[in-house]
């Protein structure tokens, strides 16, 4: 298949690299989501592919998160339509879940910033290796909440108390902080990330990958990541648009200012 926003490189020992290349900032657009899903279908169907590594073609950004200009436009079009906004959240959830449910090991090689939706894609992978930048769910700083599975996956990964802190404060973690919390599995110098990710992927590929796929299915079930949690997240994401806070947060973001969210007495 041909792609506009990514490319697939099939390397040695059954390792396929899915490299996101969607300038200028690897923002999550509808086109990228469509192509991620097509790539997932292609890689799952290819019996020669045993392990998948998701990486970025851009050294400073793994995945920047949602395309905010597109989000504003869609939010304006869907004003008052909570079900429509919730479907946009569910759309991203379904896209990333293709990799969470992939019956092959999936590694995120994070070579730059993985914020918001970028963090959520990384959380949907089985393993996260980080070589630089920051990782975190930063949506609350824009008056939003994580809407692509982040509230569910982060909570199960680091626990409710720490997930609440990270989400509420929109914390951006450097590699060592992320490693200490168990958010990432390994840290490497930026110049060695690809080498170490390749070595780890090859190590996995030499194992019983079919058994890993079955174990992954069982682990996924044990995590309790089901319709209820994701559905509540999508509905809550839509409900933020009634608060007026996304308009304040997004406007401040583009003006490169600190958002001044309304106090109750001012509302």
* Coil, strand or helix at 74: helix
Q: Mark whether 139 is an active-site residue.
A: yes
Q: Mark whether 37 is an active-site residue.
A: no
Radius of gyration of the CA atoms of the chain, in A? 18
Distance CA 187, CA 122 (A): 14
Catalytic one of 34, 35, 87, 139: 139
106 in Cβ contact with 125 (< 8 Å): yes
Task: Go through 75-108 and write b for each residue having 16 or more CB atoms within 10 A of its CB, e for each that does not.
Answer: beebeeeeeebbebbbebbebbbbbbbbebbbbb
* Coil, strand or helix at 242: helix
CA 262 to the chain's CA centroid: 29
H helix runs in the chain, sequence order: 30-45, 68-77, 82-100, 117-123, 150-158, 160-168, 175-181, 193-205, 209-223, 227-239, 245-255
* Residues in CB range of 135: below 8 A, 6 or more apart: 110, 113, 114, 115, 118, 119, 122, 128, 172, 173, 178, 183, 184
111 in Cβ contact with 62 (< 8 Å): yes
Catalytic one of 120, 202, 223, 233: 120
User: How many angstroms separate the Cα of 187 from the Cα of each of 105, 110, 142, 198?
Assistant: 18, 9, 29, 14
Q: Catalytic amino acids?
A: 120, 139
């Amino acid at each position: 298949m041909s792609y506009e926003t990514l490319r697939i490189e099939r390397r040695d020992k059954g390792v396929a690299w899915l490299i996101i290349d969607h300038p200028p900032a690897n923002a999550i657009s509808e086109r990228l989501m469509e192509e991620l899903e097509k790539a997932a279908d292609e890689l799952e169907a290819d019996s020669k592919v045993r392990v998948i590594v998701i990486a970025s073609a851009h050294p400073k950004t793994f995945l920047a998160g949602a395309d905010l200009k597109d989000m504003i436009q869609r939010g304006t079009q869907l004003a008052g339509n909570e079900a429509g906004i919730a479907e946009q959240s569910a759309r991203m959830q379904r896209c990333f879940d293709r990799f969470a449910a992939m019956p092959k090991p999936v590694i995120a090689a994070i070579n730059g910033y993985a914020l918001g939706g970028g963090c959520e894609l990384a959380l949907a992978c089985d393993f996260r290796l980080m070589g630089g930048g920051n990782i975190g769910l930063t949506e609350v700083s824009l008056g939003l909440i994580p809407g692509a599975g982040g509230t569910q996956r982060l909570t199960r990964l680091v626990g409710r108390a720490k997930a609440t802190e990270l989400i509420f404060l929109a914390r951006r973690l450097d590699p060592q902080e992320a490693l200490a919390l168990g958010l990432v599995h390994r840290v490497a110098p930026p110049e060695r990330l690809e080498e170490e990710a390749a070595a780890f992927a090859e190590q996995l590929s030499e194992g019983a990958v079919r058994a890993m796929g079955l174990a992954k299915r069982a682990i996924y079930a044990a995590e309790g990541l089901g319709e209820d949690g994701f559905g509540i997240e999508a509905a809550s994401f839509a409900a933020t648009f009634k608060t007026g806070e996304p308009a304040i947060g997004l406007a401040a973001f583009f003006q490169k200012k600190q958002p001044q969210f309304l106090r109750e007495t001012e509302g």
